[in-house]
Amino acid sequence: MGNYDPDPKMKFTFGLWTVGNPGRDPFGEPTRDKLPLAKILDMLGEVKAYGVNLHDNDAFPIDASEKEKAEIMKEFKKGMKDNGLVCAMATTNLFTDPVFKDGAFTSNNAQVRAYAIQKTMRSMDIGAELGAKIYDFWGGREGIESDATKNPVDAVKRFREAINFLCEYSIEQGYNYKFVFEAKPNEPRGHMYFAVTGSYLAFIQTLDHPEMCGVNPEVAHEHMAGLNFVHQVAAAIEVGKLFHIDLNDQEFGRYDQDFRFGSANLKHAFFLVKLLEDYKYNGPRHFDAHAYRQSNYDDVKEFAKGCMRTYMILKEKAAHWNNDAEIQGMVKLINVKDAGLEKLTKKFSKASAQKLLATPLSRSQLASAPLPYEKLDQLTMEIIMGVR
Ligand code: GCO
Ligand code: MN
Ligand code: MN
């Protein structure tokens, strides 16, 4: 058995709100005491995480005075230093306070929109002081229950205006942030705008500064909608936009569960880790998950260690798959090459089109080529199950 300790090169991070989650749900009160900031940072140090992420109000109360903010900032920096942590990502809480009940950047009220931008600027100042290089946008309240209440075209325009403004703020302040957008189809709103990662990949291209913007896909968010998360991440990788990732787990089609990474859909988790490792993803790997409501803080530590350990185990299994001679032989077999035809279809020209039209290709012969996918999948499953 290998060593599955968290590797700092993997940049495993946790939000203050993840290990600090007190176990509240829509039907019940918290089951754990709220942990003070210093204790959360100590816990992350103890489990050997690489870094910490925050929403402004996870650490700095929404009504904190400048003096209180300065004291918390000092405590935060000390906690990071004592525990060898970096601050990898910061974000704004644009969803808890009642002011955001009908959206932040997409609110129908221009004053609420302005307040949301102002709050984000202040939170960007905090993140930059803590050293964060990534700034996340999760539109928690950007959506509707009824389309009678908001024009969905205006919503996109308003969101774009806010992001363009904030990109300029980051540049003007010299913060050098990379912005990342995190899609979710529903919860807490009935319907949220930018429902899937692909929505943001298209949106980014319409911004004034597309080069500083990428995505932060989350396993649970695509699985809630019954989608294949690996494919969403692959789409982001292929256009060079995977700047951050939120790892957790989720039963398909259920409410927002935020389970420990790999605990519900191990096969998908395997292919996700394989994709990230094969394409040398180098950003933070953030476990945006929380422990079961039944757990006490000792068990929360087991939860955090479990997220990282599962990733390390799956990373080893992905390498095993890549080095398995029988599997690689099959991969070669199913990827039929034809240098002449590949050259012909690589780029259109009148001549290549004519040549392609004149090429005899036997449909029945092509259809009869062997595709032993049952065998390939079984070999894969045996690696995942640990018998191969
Ligand atoms: C959720 C989201 C959040 C965001 C966080 C950072 O489903 O609640 O995943 O946890 O990631 O607010 O923007
Ligand atoms: Mn989530
Ligand atoms: Mn998330």
pTM over 0.95: yes
The ligand placed nearest to the CA atom of residue 186 is: 1
Residues 371 and 228 in one domain: no
Mutation pick for ligand 1 pocket among 182, 250, 286 (CB with most ligand atoms within 8 Å): 182
Residues 140 and 67 in one domain: yes
The full DSSP string for 154-212 is HHHHHHHHHHHHHHHHHHHHT--PEEEEE--SSSSSSEESS-SHHHHHHHHTTSS-GGG
Task: Please tell me the number of Cα atoms within 13 Å of 216 on its side-chain side.
Answer: 25
Of 323, 345, 368, the residue at which a domain comes to its end is 323
Ligand 1 atom nearest residue 18's Cα: 10
From 5, 7, 42, 58, active-site residue: 58
Catalogue the E-assigned strands of 66-144.
86-91, 134-138, 143-144
Ligand 1 atom nearest residue 246's Cα: 11
Residue 3 covered by a domain: no
58 is catalytic: yes
Tell me which residue range forms the domain holding 101: 8-323
What pLDDT digit, counting tens, does each position of 321-357 carry?
999 999 999 999 999 999 999 999 999 999 999 999 9
Q: How far is the CA of 136 from the centre of ligand 1 (A)?
A: 9
Dihedral sign from CA coordinates of 285, 286, 292, 297: positive
Q: How far is the CA of 193 from the centre of ligand 2 (A)?
A: 15
By three-state DSSP, how is residue 218 classified?
A: strand
Q: What is the pLDDT of residue 1?
A: 62
Number of domains in the chain: 2
Of 272, 303, 323, the residue at which a domain comes to its end is 323
Residues 253 and 338 in one domain: no
Compute the distance between CA of residue 142 and CA of residue 106 in angstroms, rounded to an integer.
6
Of 153, 53, 39, residue with least CA distance to 93: 53
What pLDDT digit, counting tens, does each position of 100-146 carry?
999 999 999 999 999 999 999 999 999 999 999 999 999 999 999 99
Q: How many helices (H) and strands (E) does the chain have?
A: 16, 10
State the CATH number of the domain containing residue 20: 3.20.20.150
pLDDT mean over 252-258: 96
Q: What integer best gives the mean pLDDT of the chain?
A: 98
Residues 222 and 308 in one domain: yes
By three-state DSSP, how is residue 246 classified?
A: strand
Of 291, 307, 323, the residue at which a domain comes to its end is 323
Q: Which residues line ligand 1 (CB under 6 A)?
A: 55, 91, 136, 138, 182, 184, 218, 246, 256, 288
By three-state DSSP, how is residue 226 classified?
A: coil
Residues 334 and 309 in one domain: no
From 5, 25, 42, 55, active-site residue: 55
Residues 158 and 278 in one domain: yes
Are 58 and 17 contacting, i.e. CB atoms less than 8 angstroms apart? Answer: yes
Helices (H), 296-372: 297-322, 325-334, 339-346, 350-357, 363-367
> 34: which 2 tokens?
């709220």
Residues 282 and 345 in one domain: no
pLDDT for residue 367 is more than 90:
yes
By three-state DSSP, how is residue 249 classified?
A: strand
Q: What is the pLDDT of residue 305?
A: 98
Ligand 1 atom nearest residue 17's Cα: 10
With a pLDDT cut of 70, the percent of the chain lying above it is 100
377 is catalytic: no
pLDDT for residue 154 is more than 90:
yes
Residues 329 and 313 in one domain: no
Are 159 and 139 contacting, i.e. CB atoms less than 8 angstroms apart? Answer: yes
Q: How confident is the model at residue 2 (pLDDT cuts 50, 70, 90)?
A: confident
DSSP code of 135?
E
> 214: which 2 tokens?
């990428």
Residues 99 and 60 in one domain: yes
What pLDDT digit, counting tens, does each position of 15-69 carry?
999 999 999 999 999 999 999 999 999 999 999 999 999 999 999 999 999 999 9
Q: How far is the CA of 232 from the centre of ligand 3 (A)?
A: 15
